[in-house]
Structure 1
Amino acid sequence: MPQVFAYIRVSTAKQDHQNQELEIRRYADKEGIQIDHWFRLEASSRKSTKERRLDELLDELESGDTLIVSELSRLGRSLSQIVLTIDSLREKDVTFIAIKNGMKFNGDHDATAKIQIAMFGVLAEIERDLISERTKMGLAAARAEGKTLGRPAGSLGKSKLDGKEKEIEELLGKGMTRAALARYFEVSPPTLTSFLKTRMPDLHKAHRQPSKKK
């Protein structure tokens, strides 16, 4: 039996989550639609988690099912990603509804949907070209002005451990080993060692692991 799925991509703001859900529920009530499944994704999740979660949803959908979102932008961060997702839905013969955009594609047999998706594809290609061109122009302008491109020598990149210095110091002070500390913060031991060397050199020296005797 065909199922109806609602997909919400939420930011860390609770209000954003509530607004999307309320909009979908209002639409469903107005159209007499019963939502069978809700899929929610935190926008702050890692990229791999986002892709995996969206893939899970696409795997769940079958021919005749319906997917509802509050707006197109919830399907991806770029037009090309959105186009690929919509095309996947069309190929699976899934009805797709984007409420704010006033869009409703009735699966693979919807000729209008095929035309619109093709147009989106052209726009996505134009978007990629424009981004590429702007990037090239920006780099050329920077070189012309004599600016050094890339990260300055000796500068520190961002680390997953940034902001956790106090906690690291406390845990090492309590006798936690570096290996255990790396597991605790879900980083590799080399990442932890590098962080200590560059950000907390005194602590690195004070809690240096004794080398194993051969």
Structure 2
Amino acid sequence: MLVGYMRVSKADGSQSTDLQRDALLSAGVEAVNLYEDHASGKKDDRPELAACLKGMRDGDTLLVWKLDRLGRDLRHLVNTVHDLTDRGIGLKVLTGEGAAIDTTTASGKLVFGIFAALAEFERALISERTIAGLAAARARGRKGGRPYKMTAAKVRLAMASMGQPETKVGDLCTELGVTRQTLYRHVSPSGELRADGKTLLGSK
């Protein structure tokens, strides 16, 4: 069975899927097997795409007008197609940069393999740049990573407050601006320091 997926970025009706619809119908997709989302490709909440992918079965083929209609970035596309392939579902792109992709054919699988290799290369480059950036920051005396939400002053306040009968943990977390999990990683319910709290105070 052929299944078609369409997407436009704006949900206000200013963009139309007519061109995509006509192309998919001409490619043999029946109107009842068309799915349509009005959302940015960067959004994860695309209910029609989720329904489309969930309803497909071994031997089906998913058709899209252009590759960018399906995924928000190269890695997302690769992961999506790998999932389809594992389920025995093909992907065919009708036009645009990915028009040579048809995972139901040997040549199409080869083209997609090149896309997958590019995605892996992109991941490696990002990782390499991140490591180099952190090394450069350390050389300048800066530490990478997110700043602590819990500070030494907050730990001391938590130590003084925890274990007091009148202390409400929820109110204390709100005052400190941390979650319960963060609080309990630093201070026990009785106000004693835990490992993260000792580390934080020891670093000051």
Q: Map residues 42-191 of structure 1 onto 2, 5 A cutoff.
A: 42-43=39-40, 47=44, 49=45, 54=49, 56-90=51-85, 92-103=88-99, 105-108=101-104, 110-153=105-148, 190=170
Structure of larger gyration radius: 2
Q: Secondary structure at the match of 1:67?
A: strand
- Structure 2: which 5+ runs fail to align? 152-168, 178-204
Task: List gaps (5 residues or longer) in structure 1.
Answer: 157-188, 200-214
More helix by share: 1
Per-residue deviation, 1:130: 0.5
Q: Go from structure 1 to structure 2 and tell me whether the alpha carbon gap of 1:68 and 1:17 turns closer, same or farther (over 3 Å shift).
A: farther
Cα contact 1:96–1:106 (8 A) shared by 2 = yes
Aligned residues: 158
Q: 1:107 to 1:129 in 2, by over 3 A?
A: closer
* TM-score, structure 2 as length reference: 0.56
SS at match of 1:14: coil
Q: Does 1:27 align with 2:23?
A: yes
8 A contact 1:6–1:38 mirrored in 2: yes
- Percent identity among equivalent residues? 30
CA contact (8 A) 1:68 1:99 kept: no
Give the AA of the match of 2:133: G
How far apart are the structure 2 equivalents of 1:116 and 1:101?
11
Structure 2 residue aligned with 1:37: 34
Q: For the residues of structure 2 that align with 1:53 and 1:198, how far apart are their CA atoms?
A: 41
Q: What is the alpha-carbon root mean square deviation over aligned residues?
A: 3.9
Amino acid at match of 1:24: Q
